[in-house]
Chains A and B, each alone.
Chain A
Amino acid sequence: MTDRRRINGPSSGTIVPTFISSTSSSQRPNRTRQPDELRKIFLKTGVTPSAPGSAYLELSPSSTSSAPTLVPTSSNLKITCTVHGPRPLPRSVPFSPQLVLSTNVKFAPFATRKRRGYVRDSTERDLGQHLESALRGVIIGERWSKSGVDVVITILEGEESCWWGDEGGLVGADGRAGSANGSCGLMSVLAGCITVASAALVNAGIDCVGLVSGGVAAMVNNSLSSAEKRALGSASESSSVCVLDPSPPEHDGILRACVVAYIEARDEITEIWLKGEAGSPEETEQLTEKAVVAALASGVVLKAAVSGPTDEETFSEDVDMS
């Protein structure tokens, strides 16, 4: 069914270009960072003057490809967030003693390798749910009864779940979910969403118990070729390594990944999302702790971004700690 409120392309649809890999660009990007080193985060508040609160987050590209190519080997996350509210709920909404939080996450049509639609799909709604539970634990809802707040996130550039070379020799620009990495790219996106939403909430002056920041950790296969792995045989499990802030295109196989939303001031986790083959409870715990370390690191950037222009009383103690 065509969307009559938008301008539609050719009725027969269009196909995504199929690229032939030239030898120069057909190499998987390598992780040049240390396992516990995050990508550089740029975070700025107040980018949307027409909204009460807003923030913009960008991750610097993790690896620069040697040859310029039309098929980007990796992408850098770019997220904007606006916060509207607190404002009175419409009359039709029943009484609520707490602040009604609604989150909305949308990818721009050009954000990913595969062009996105205009209407929110299940992935975006899922991300919105995760974000809502992450923020619900940090907002002091009792202070804003009968009010609502909208957190609107637009992802201008997302993160890919796999390297485009994993999709087969002749690769289209459509990034179907890579079998090896699952939807690990979404986890980095969620961590970014949590951090940027937290900054925008502070910018809007909404009372929070602390700053919540997102962090991702993943257990990845060590950079061994499959032949080497076979030689090691059963020792393949031990060749996995835990990395913070993984960039999925850089890794051949991500065994499991974990994203947390962490409030440093209270040492609380408000949201946790684990994916992949679950190991023993100890391994899971270890991975979660690593994700918290990543969240702490992005929390440093968050503090610096919000402590400048806004002088919220709620956050004074957090700022003092830094």
Chain B
Amino acid sequence: MAATTVTQSLTFPPELFATLSPSPFLLAHLSSSSSTRPNGRTSSTFRKPTVNTNSLSHCNGSAVVRLGNTACVCGIRAEILPSSDVANPSYIPTSLTPESPDTNMADDDADNEDEDIDDGPEMASLNLLVPNIELSTGSSPAHLPGNPPSTLAQSLSQRLLDLLHSTRLIRAKDLRILYQPPLLEDDEEPDAEPTVEVKAYWVLYIDILFISLDGNAFDAAWGSVLAALKNTKLPKAWWDQDLGSILCSDAVAEANELTLRGLPVAATFAVFDTRRGKGMKGKTGSWVLADPDTFEEAQCEESVTVVVDDGGRIRRIEKSGGGVVGKAHLRDLVELSQRRREEWKQVLNI
């Protein structure tokens, strides 16, 4: 009886090895000649994203994004913030001139002109974007409901908000609901420019629910936000002077789409360093793993998130937890991120 137990303990399945000593398990995979990760990918392979858009009927825009075993749903709901309710209206532009409706078309001049206008303070101070990530949907055993949002969920939401603002992805122009007072006939200056005032703003509530979590929550969440924003339709809204309120049209043909500034794509890397892990004395080496899953994330402390946009422009680099990735290494990661952007671009149909 005792002998059988001993023989059993000598050969145990890989799952048991992974559970008992995760770091040496990962090291054994990476330091083998083929250097594949336990999930079968090479260190620079990302998981292929799949995107499904506008399947939720109560959302202005929605998307389901799946990255391997990580899956999340993003739903965007638009509500109205009347300008009269804003406590500090100093950021609301006052000197707007009426525009012809086709200026938001892909006209190069108009586009460039629009790039110059800094509407960041307007968006940020009015809190027009409200992203929130919900992990506690039973998406993984570590995230069960009944508790307030975990630190991971809080930091992910905050990172999303920062990225939305710093990339200036959404134009404030698309969110404004304008009103042009009718010109009175006995106007003293008939040649005066008609003025337009901002009566209200659309506020976008961006809610991301994780159906399943297997690492790299940020890339999946950001991808779903991009896909949902791309498919968001805001109803045509106008100020009704008689009712004193904003009214919307339910016709799809009259709805406006958002015109996004570029397509910044996030790529996350985790760094596995033998000096950090347990039970790896005398072994040296470090590996950068693209698009880590939950098992790898638990073994890696350093992580790098690179956000790149069109033409290799770097929109954001977040790096924390260690100093393995240096200047030269970072250049490689930016290169990889650019390739990753092409992949996303294809999936998002842009």
Contact = CB atoms under 8 A, between A and B. Distances in A.
Contacts of B251: 22, 24, 69-70
A7 interface: yes
A154 B209 contact: yes
A21 B250 CA distance: 7
A225 interface: no
A110 B132 contact: no
Contacts of A106: 137, 145
Given A15-B80, A50-B69, A150-B138, A9 B209 contact: no
B202 to A, nearest CB: 9
Given A6-B157, A156-B56, A48 B139 contact: yes
B231 interface: no
A152 interface: yes
B57 interface: yes
Question: Interface residues of B toward A: which range?
Answer: 35 or more
Given A7-B131, A50-B139, A84-B138, A17 B57 contact: no
B79 A115 contact: yes
Given A7-B158, A20-B250, A70-B255, A48 B80 contact: no
A25 B249 CA distance: 11
A75 B252 contact: no
B87 A49 contact: no
Q: Is the interface of A mostly helix, strand, loop or mixed?
A: loop
B211 A47 contact: yes
B25 interface: no
Interface stretch (B29-37, B70-78, B190-198, B316-324): B70-78
A209 B75 CA distance: 38
B258 interface: no
Contacts of A7: 130-132, 157-158, 161
Contacts of B179: none
Interface in B125-163: 126-128, 130-132, 134, 137-141, 144-146, 148-149, 154, 157-158, 161
B130 A11 contact: no
A104 interface: yes
B183 interface: no
Nearest to B78: A17
B130 A110 contact: no
B82 interface: yes
A251 interface: no
B62 interface: yes
Nearest to A14: B79
B247 interface: yes
B212 A48 contact: yes
A170 B271 CA distance: 56
A82 B212 CA distance: 9
Given A14-B80, A20-B250, A112-B58, 12 more contacts: A17-B79, A20-B249, A47-B211, A51-B139, A69-B251, A75-B58, A76-B57, A104-B145, A109-B132, A154-B211, A156-B73, A157-B58
Interface of A: 5-22, 24-25, 47-51, 54, 68-72, 75-76, 78, 80, 82-84, 104, 106, 108-113, 115, 118, 120, 150, 152, 154, 156-157, 170
Interface of B: 55-60, 62, 69, 71, 73, 75-82, 85-87, 126-128, 130-132, 134, 137-141, 144-146, 148-149, 154, 157-158, 161, 203, 205, 207, 209, 211-214, 233, 235, 237, 245-252, 255, 294
